[in-house]
Chains A and B, each alone.
Chain A
Amino acid sequence: MIQRHQRIVFWCLVGCIVLMGVLLAVGRQRGRQRIESLAADQTPLDAPTAMAETVTLDLANDDDGTITPASRQIALPEEPNARARALIDHLIAEYALPGSPHELAPGAAVAEVFLLPLPLVGYTTDSTSSATKDGGFRPTVPVASSDPDPLQAKQPGGELAVIDLHSTFVNQHPSGVEVESLTLRSILGTLHANLPQIEQVRFLVDGQARETLAGHADLLRTYPAVDTTSSGTGASQGQSN
């Protein structure tokens, strides 16, 4: 025969177990919701010291294949390389939001952006020149002025942007002529709208040249940074039926 006080203790213990189970389930649910909200919001943190400014993001739309400009208030760093990288990070973060018309996987897309003054200048070891100064090195321009090679500045102060993409971003990018072209045109147009000194853009993936973005769009060529919105000169598109 179980005594009365033992039954009371038993049921108290059962009640405590049930209560702890409920508290554990609620805690897990809250934790899951917090992680999901963090995963959905991929917007990069703004620079703590910079003031928010109005920037133009050229946003792609897969439904009609267009690029349209959109204004955003974003705090950007002052340094041009970091500024270019932050712009692209914000652009890709827009595409990672749920319901984006040009849906891309969330995550860091750009490892680094390098801005190089045009024309690109190399150095030879030709010590026979009278212009030799710094230890036998003579500055040279690798392309002749009459050469149609694009590595020439159109305006004084023109720059080449070398964008080093993460392979994780590239490997997750949707495959297709239009979707890949729209991503590149979106990046080019955004850089042109906010950093007009950038005249040309090259893409690398993990520091290496790569043939295509996801099997279609060319990543070996040098792209002009131009207005790529649907009304711009860089995007000609027609439709007939």
Chain B
Amino acid sequence: MMTAMGRAQTGPAAAQGQADPRPSAPVVPTPIPLNRKLIVLDPAHGGIDSGSQISDSTVEKDVTLALAYRLRSLLTARGFSVVMTRDADGPTEPGAAGGALTLDDRAGIANHAHAVACLVIHATGSGTGVHVYRSELDATAGQPTLVPWLTAQAAWIPESQLLEKQVATAFARSEIALVASTASIRPMDSLSCPALVVELAPKGDDADSINDTDYQQHVALAIAGAMLFWQNEVQPPARFAAMGAAAGSTGSNDRTGAQR
């Protein structure tokens, strides 16, 4: 009897929301599994996609990979496991075998990892210091079972906001200039994890100072330190069985207050 009822509640009929004459049990939100020792790094671009031209001799894809290498080493030394969406440049010929991952491929890798943080690494020749962006999506009260691909980040917005604060604190402590903002950058909105875009800008007026190894190490150290605090702070959102249960938007501060 229990088995049959359980099957009835989780079967296709229940999933499709068909009318059931029996009184249904209240839907209990379940926490989303999270590996607190795992971090996803996505060095943006690669292969045929060079990204922006930072200077005459520097392209974005090389800077993002260099920073990701440094960050991976520092995170591993602190006991984290690191998943990188790419760890080489990739073929530079269109249509070559083993070509570059699409943005959706990168999001898929990150979402399967259930990581405590997903950092999408970019680089730019404009401005100085580090620019940190989180998603522009409105926060939702939880994550539905069927996650909309283009708005998967919505349930994680409050956590991403807190992660942004944690990273901003670490940069302030390290005296690194920071600009924090929101943006809609592929594939961040499709990530179901606390996610940030970390964009490295030159140290000073010279665009080539972005390749300064001491500068990159300084930035990577600040991020790795922030992750140590973050792994104990993060609280994954609840997962709801029905999509409608998560439809209502809520202020991120309210939810944050309820969790902490």
Which of A212, A218, A240 contacts B180, CB < 8 Å?
A240
B179 at interface, CB cutoff 8 A: yes
Q: Tell me, in angstroms, the Cα distance from A76 to B178 when the chains sit together.
A: 41
Q: Which residues of B contact A212 (CB under 8 A)?
A: 103, 185-186
Which of A147, A177, A241 contacts B133, CB < 8 Å?
A177
- In chain A, what residue has the closest Cβ to B249? A148
A215 at interface, CB cutoff 8 A: yes
A29 at interface, CB cutoff 8 A: no
Also in contact, A216 and B175, with CB within 8 A (given A175-B60, A176-B126) = no
- In chain A, what residue has the closest Cβ to B133? A177
- In chain A, what residue has the closest Cβ to B176? A241
Interface size on B, residues (CB 8 A): 42
Q: B-facing mask of A136-152, CB < 8 A → 1, else 0?
A: 00000000001110000
- Contact present for B171 and A240 (CB under 8 Å): yes
A65 at interface, CB cutoff 8 A: yes
- Contact present for B180 and A239 (CB under 8 Å): yes
- Contact present for A240 and B186 (CB under 8 Å): no
Contacting residues of chain B (100-151) with chain A, CB-CB under 8 angstroms: 103, 122, 124-127, 129, 131, 133, 140, 150-151
- Contact present for B189 and A221 (CB under 8 Å): yes
- Contact present for B150 and A178 (CB under 8 Å): no
- In chain A, what residue has the closest Cβ to B128? A241
- Contact present for A181 and B103 (CB under 8 Å): no
- In chain A, what residue has the closest Cβ to B247? A148
- Contact present for B179 and A177 (CB under 8 Å): no
- Contact present for B150 and A217 (CB under 8 Å): no
Q: B-facing mask of A198-241, CB < 8 A → 1, else 0?
A: 00000000000001101111101101000000000001111111
Q: Tell me, in angstroms, the Cα distance from A176 to B166 when the chains sit together.
A: 24
- In chain B, what residue has the closest Cβ to A237? B181
- Contact present for B247 and A215 (CB under 8 Å): no
Contacting residues of chain A (159-186) with chain B, CB-CB under 8 angstroms: 174-179, 181, 184
- Contact present for A175 and B126 (CB under 8 Å): no
Contacting residues of chain B (223-252) with chain A, CB-CB under 8 angstroms: 243-244, 246-247, 249
Q: Which residues of B contact A240 (CB under 8 A)?
A: 168, 171-172, 178, 180
A62 at interface, CB cutoff 8 A: yes
- Contact present for A236 and B184 (CB under 8 Å): no
Q: Tell me, in angstroms, the Cα distance from A237 to B183 when the chains sit together.
A: 10
- Contact present for A148 and B184 (CB under 8 Å): no
- Contact present for B124 and A177 (CB under 8 Å): yes
- In chain B, what residue has the closest Cβ to A223? B184
Also in contact, A146 and B244, with CB within 8 A (given A178-B126, A216-B122, A241-B175) = yes
Also in contact, A177 and B186, with CB within 8 A (given A65-B181, A147-B247) = no
Q: List 15 A-B contacts (CB under 8 A).
A: A148-B140, A148-B151, A148-B247, A175-B52, A177-B197, A181-B184, A211-B186, A216-B186, A218-B184, A218-B186, A220-B150, A220-B186, A221-B151, A238-B180, A239-B178
Top 8 A-B pairs, shortest CB-CB distance = A175-B52, A218-B184, A237-B181, A181-B183, A176-B124, A148-B247, A238-B180, A218-B186
Q: Interface residues, chain B, CB within 8 Å of chain A?
A: 44-45, 49, 51-53, 60, 103, 122, 124-127, 129, 131, 133, 140, 150-151, 168, 171-172, 175-186, 189, 197, 199, 243-244, 246-247, 249
18 new A-B contacts at CB < 8 Å, known A62-B126, A177-B131, A178-B127: A65-B127, A146-B247, A148-B249, A176-B125, A178-B124, A181-B184, A181-B185, A212-B186, A215-B51, A216-B185, A218-B186, A221-B150, A221-B184, A221-B189, A236-B181, A240-B178, A241-B172, A241-B177
